[in-house]
Chain A
Amino acid sequence: MPVLDENESERLHEIRRLHEDSKFASAKMAVFQYIAVAVFVLLIIRFWDLQVRNPGVYQEMADENRIRSVPVLAPRGKILDRDGRVIVDNHSSFTLLLNRETLKPEHLRMIAEGLDLDYDQLLSRLMKFRKRPAYEPVIIKQELTPEEVTFVESHRDPGTFPELMLIRAQRRLYPKNGLAAHAVGYVGEVSEAELDSPDFAKYQQGQIVGKDGLERQYNDSLMGVDGQRRVVVDNMGRERQVLDDKPAVPGRDLETTLDLDLQAVAELSLGDRPGAVVALDPRSGEVLAMVSRPAFDPNLFAGRIRSKDWNALLSNPQKPLLNRAIQAQLAPGSTFKPLMALAGLEAGVITDDFHVHCPGGASFYGHWYACHLKHGHGDIELHRAIEQSCDVYFYNVGYRLGIDRIAKYAELVGYGHKTGIDLPHEADGIVPSPQWAMRNYHRKWYAGETISVSIGQGAVTVTPLQLAYATGGMAMGGVWERPHLVRDPMHPVAAHKVEFNPDNVEKVISGMYGVVNEAGTGTRARLPGITVCGKTGTAQVASAGLVKAMEGSHAAADFANNAWFVGFAPREHPEIVVVALVQGGGESTVAVPVVRDVLKAYFDKKGRRFQPLPSLAGSFAPQPQPVAFLRPAALDRTR
């Protein structure tokens, strides 16, 4: 039976198998079909989500992947002298940008190490830019050395630091040794604080703007407009295609009135002594030369100044950043006397035959006022009083004029307010008066102060530019052209004119001619064949008593007198007026040769008696070349 059963079941099974084979598990296969349908439907729903529901989103992400915007920095305009010679140039350099879209924060430390950057500074710099859109890259280093360029090139692949971007940029190149540094100024990256101020609000984080001098004054025309390139990159960051190219609009070149030859001569002649030189053309107000000492190197600022250099400049007691030509407000000393003489004549308090006896001093209001000449000038009249700078004579003029009339004439010729030169931060100077004393110090005017002011001491202060401006205008017979470094024919400024009696002007000029060409105090300014006129000044910076008390101490040098000289030529139709200030120079005579050098250079050049300097363009070492007529000693001092 079991055998039969087995055969039976075998047979039945075989029959059933053959019967069922085609339909075997057909229900399960149908389930498989439903599962397949479900899989395909789910996949298509997902594609619908990605491709149809939000069509723009992924397109934008794809564009972000491939499109990169690269800034094209506009080169700043060059700064040229009056003959078109380059004073400030640009040179091509590599600038490193960080693309914040692809930035990985953990890379920063290695990047900082590789490029010799301070990690914390790099971080804080990136923080500063956090409000800017991420597609704008951040400049992290300028002026890359060839080694640094190699580092960047070998590490910017997607596997290492894909956030690094290298662009070529034009960088500011200033003359070496701070030539014309104060007039030209400097550029720098606009700071956080500046962005909040109205003057700089129009600029953007990271932009390089003029911060001082002409660079700041004419920043808008010098700066140009940055362009932008949008490029397609592949996954390796290689440029495949340029989408659009908005070229940079270069800044306009700035043609100044400076004369590189005169500037170089003035720089060399003043040397390292603290002080200033200003040369003006009184006929037009054009500034031919402007020197301030000590100078600084504007190249330090060209990118971002290192804090070490910046602190050194700020903490320097001599204040190298100060443009003494327009910002030093100092007692003019005897250079104030031509104005006193003119005021006296115009007011009618003195005449040609006004004589004074100078015994070496005079007493006013119960005080003794000494003359610089101890044994006195004896009997002295206007011409000789200017020529020999007799203090007693001018005490009397001041005594007769009174402080109000002194102040009136001083302001008339340009003292006590800005000349309006096209440079930032010009100082006003002080023309003291009873109102001034009351307004500023809430005290009454002491009569004796008038006597001090008469010889340019006391509270009266002027800037070197004001002295040149005032003297030039007087020499022109009462016509003051606004001083400027850049001609602006579009916006002419009317000259300031005062109707002086030409005879009175002539009498003062005659005295100033005597200073140089007769037995005066400025005979070292004499130039053969040229009628140089001038006036010396030795201004005390402290009272005589204090100086005596300090004698022999280290601080004594700080109280040494300031030496001034203002000279112009020719006498009849002045073309140039030059002021030299040597701070702590002691005797006024040390300032005289500086003016003489500049005047001589001016007339030598006019008479084509020397080879002008070449342009300073394109060279890393634009060193003022020795000029033939200079004394060797002057050359030695500059090094």
Chain B
Amino acid sequence: MASYRTFRDFDWALLIITFVICAIGVLQIFSATLDTPWRDAWWKQVVWIAFGLVLMWGITLVDYHTLLGRVPIFYGLSLLGLVSTFVIGRRVFGSQRWIVIAGFRLQVSEFVKLVIILLIAWYLSDLRSEKLEVRDLLKLGGLVALPMVLVIRQPDLGTALTYLPVLIVGVILAGLRWQHAAVIIVTLALVLPVGYYFLRDYQKARLLSFVDPSRDPKGSGYQVIQSEIAVGSGGIWGQGVTRGTQTQLRFLPVPHTDFIFSAFAEEHGFVGVVVVLGLYFLLLMQVVQNAQMAPDRAGMYICMGVAALLLFHILVNVGMVVGRMPVTGIPLPLMSSGGSNIWSVFLMLGLVNNVRLHRFVS
């Protein structure tokens, strides 16, 4: 057993890219929270990253097939955890997303991401056929929809939506029939406008201000406009660390969490943006490469689930920062300040490593 768990086989490239992105994130958190009540956020982030590494190492030690075998248990625990947020959860900014375990404030929905990835890998890798049957599609869809609905009820639409790309990429890889895809798309096109009326007011406002930020420049559109100004004023070379006026004078909302990339773009300019986006791209390609070299379907599904989720996060968060995506409040992986997100991303990367370490086995 121990033979394949060598340091040589570890995905060092992935780890180094991850570290560089995290370091840039910590620096940006430091700069963005200077002289604010969150001024020790960068230090907390360092602690979270360190603990994330331990978690990553830990999940690498367990054979992912063992984890897949426990999916029903994880799934049950997830539902339990999500329900418990309604009972004992901490209400912050008007939504109940957190439960406190051993002094840590954990955002359950972040960890459910992992379970969704494992769930989809577990379910799809057991299929025997080349094409996905309607029955399986509905089953899997129902299994994903249940925690999604719970998360939407918290309410946290943004995080709930991150489960979808994992499912979509999974079923496409598993051989989604184009007829089924067409039916799903048509159904969604019909259902979404109706769903709009069930959105909360702030969610509607965010969507509307995404369509037209100047509608309400001091309200929902404010964040987007200020973010665009921050990004634009960064120019080619940026204003310099701790020199971005939008960030330092707090015109930019939450510059160390959801809008950290905006703060980064202001202080480091287009050059910095290209470098960091390039690092994310390399990270993503590294994960996809691991998927391609996975020893079995389950491993491939796990890696592609992680890749899909990361790509979705990057697209939605960075797109929001430049006014191309609505404000959904989902963080930028590895950079945004926040323990739960850091840990869930490190755990995902741990899973990818886990798959990689099994590729020469059997």
Contact = CB atoms under 8 A, between A and B. Distances in A.
A33 B303 CA distance: 13
Given A22-B292, A44-B277, A58 B249 contact: no
A438 interface: no
A46 B229 CA distance: 13
Interface stretch (B75-83, B190-198, B281-289): B281-289
Contacts of B295: 21-22
Given A29-B292, A36-B285, A52 B274 contact: no
Contacts of A55: 235-236
Given A22-B295, A25-B300, A66-B245, A51 B281 contact: no
A50 B232 CA distance: 5
A376 B285 CA distance: 128
B296 interface: yes
A17 to B, nearest CB: 8
Contacts of B328: none
Contacts of A62: 229-230, 232-233, 245-246, 251
Nearest to A39: B315
Nearest to A162: B218
A52 B236 contact: yes
B277 A40 contact: yes
A500 B249 CA distance: 81
B118 interface: no
B111 interface: no
A155 to B, nearest CB: 16
Contact of B231 (A25, A58, A63, A236): A58
B22 interface: no
A28 interface: yes
A17 B265 CA distance: 46
Interface residues of A, number: 42
The B interface, classified by DSSP as helix, strand, loop or mixed, is helix
Given A43-B319, A52-B236, A66-B245, A24 B229 contact: no
Given A28-B173, A32-B307, A36-B284, A240 B236 contact: no
B297 interface: yes
A234 interface: yes
B246 A22 contact: no
A61 interface: yes
B135 interface: no
Interface string A39-83: 110111011101110110111011101100000000000000000
Contact of B218 (A29, A104, A233): A104
A465 interface: no
B304 A21 contact: no
Nearest to B129: A13
A440 interface: no
A87 B54 CA distance: 82
Contact of B229 (A37, A47, A61, A104): A61
A233 B311 CA distance: 37
Nearest to A31: B172
Given A51-B265, A104-B218, A29 B288 contact: yes
Given A43-B318, A51-B269, A66 B249 contact: yes
Given A65-B251, A66-B249, A235-B251, A47 B273 contact: yes
Contact of B250 (A35, A59, A104, A234): A234
B229 to A, nearest CB: 5
A35 B236 CA distance: 26
A363 interface: no
Nearest to B249: A234
Q: Which 8 A-B pairs have the closest CB atoms?
A: A58-B232, A62-B233, A234-B249, A51-B270, A50-B232, A58-B233, A46-B322, A235-B250
16 contacts: A21-B294, A32-B304, A46-B322, A47-B231, A51-B232, A51-B235, A51-B273, A52-B235, A54-B232, A58-B229, A62-B230, A62-B232, A62-B246, A65-B245, A66-B249, A232-B249
